[in-house]
């Protein structure tokens, strides 16, 4: 994270509402990756309307996507509950990214970044909008999301048409890689 201590992230719409389980995926491959992830988790823990229940250990992975010539990523998964609707949760994630040094205006899709915070799932919400798809459209094919999630919650299920039991999705990916 850049700069000094910051105030907790405050998000409009974080008033008392039923808590929905959410899965967030965090990654970084520039600078002090572990420090960036730790700072991001601390900001998420301090955010209004979000209760962090579990944080996976870090997982080092090769980059996926079109930009292969970049440093290795450090990833983790956060299981939480939120009163925030999907758009407000996305805004929170974008603010945590911004505080972590990510400038979305110059971000190269699939390229290196100091911090990335993705909403993987928001309860059983199915949503398809230009800038927000739930569950995350590639979660079912990403070991760096599925492996830590399965460790934290062995009975987890990714909702949606490409979803299913997280452990089965992971086993399929690992089987395909061997």
Domains of the chain and CATH, by start: 20-136 (3.30.70.560)
pLDDT at position 68: 75
CB 85 within 8 A of CB 41: no
Q: State residue 9's pLDDT score.
A: 58
Q: What is the pLDDT of residues 67-101, one digit of tens each?
A: 778 899 999 999 999 999 999 999 999 999 999 98
pLDDT of residue 2: 43
Q: Quote the percentage of the chain above a pLDDT of 70.
A: 88
**How far apart, in Å, do the first and last CA atoms of the chain sit?**
37
pLDDT of 6 higher than 90: no
> Is residue 7's pLDDT more than 90?
no
pLDDT, position 1: 42
Other beta carbons within 10 angstroms of residue 47's beta carbon come to: 23
Contact call for residues 88 and 13 (beta carbons, < 8 A) = yes
Give the pTM. Answer: 0.87
The pLDDT of residue 4: 43
Residue 77: which of 170, 1, 9 has the closest Cα?
170
CA-wise closest residue to 176 among 149, 132, 143: 143
């Amino acid at each position: 994270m850049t700069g000094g201590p910051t105030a907790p992230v405050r998000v409009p719409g974080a008033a008392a509402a039923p808590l929905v389980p959410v899965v967030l995926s965090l990654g970084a491959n520039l600078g002090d990756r572990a420090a960036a992830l730790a700072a991001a988790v601390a900001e998420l823990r301090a955010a209004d309307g979000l209760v962090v229940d579990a944080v996976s250990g870090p997982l080092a992975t090769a980059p996926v996507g079109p930009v292969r010539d970049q440093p290795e990523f450090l990833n983790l998964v956060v299981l939480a509950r939120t009163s925030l609707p999907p758009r407000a949760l996305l805004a929170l994630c974008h603010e945590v990214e911004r505080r972590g040094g990510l400038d979305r205006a110059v971000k190269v899709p699939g390229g290196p970044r100091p911090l990335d915070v993705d909403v993987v799932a928001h309860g059983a919400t199915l949503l398809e909008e230009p800038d927000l798809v739930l569950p995350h459209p590639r979660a079912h094919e990403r070991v760096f999301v599925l492996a830590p999630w399965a460790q934290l919650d062995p009975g987890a299920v990714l909702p949606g048409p490409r979803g299913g039991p997280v452990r089965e999705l992971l086993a399929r990916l690992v089987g395909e890689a061997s």
